[in-house]
Amino acid sequence: MTVPVNVDVSENTRGILAALTMGDPDLLAAGLELRAEWKAKSGLDARGYALVKLAALIALDAPPASYLWQVSNALDAGATPEDLIGVLIAIAPQVGGPKVVAAAPELMVALGLSLQDGA
C-alpha cells in the first residue's frame, strides 16, 4: 500500500478529522442528535431500533468497539441478552455462520462475560 504524498485536504476536513480524533464533544453531540432523528424517522421503538442496528453490525463484521456501544444501547432500550441470541439466530441464514460465530464472542465481551463463561 502506498501513502499519498500530495493530497489536497481542505481545512474543514482537517478540522473534522482532528475533532473526531480528540473526541470533540460538540461534534459527537451533533452525531447523537442525528441518531435520535433517524431513530424517530424509522418508526421503530427504541428496543427494535437497537436490535436492528446490532444485526447490521453483525452483517458488516464490525469492529469490537462497535459491539460494546450497541449492546449497551440495546440493553438500555429494554433488550435482554436472550434478545441478542435471537438476533444471531434470525440473521444467520442471511449473513452466514462465520459472521455469527465471529459476533458471539464480541457479544459475550459486551455483556461482561469471559469467553470461558460459555464453556
Digit-coded pLDDT (tens) for 4-57: 667 788 898 888 778 777 767 677 677 667 777 888 888 999 999 999 999 999
Q: Which residue in the block uniquely carries the three cell numbers 460494546?
A: 68
CB atoms inside a 10 Å sphere around CB 110: 23
Q: Do 58 and 36 share a structural domain?
A: no
Domain count, the chain: 2
Structural domain boundaries enclosing 31: 10-43
Q: Which residue in the block uniquely carries the three cell numbers 444501547?
A: 73
d(CA 53, CA 32): 14
- Tell whether pTM > 0.75: no
* Domain-located, residue 2: no
Q: Do 111 and 57 share a structural domain?
A: yes
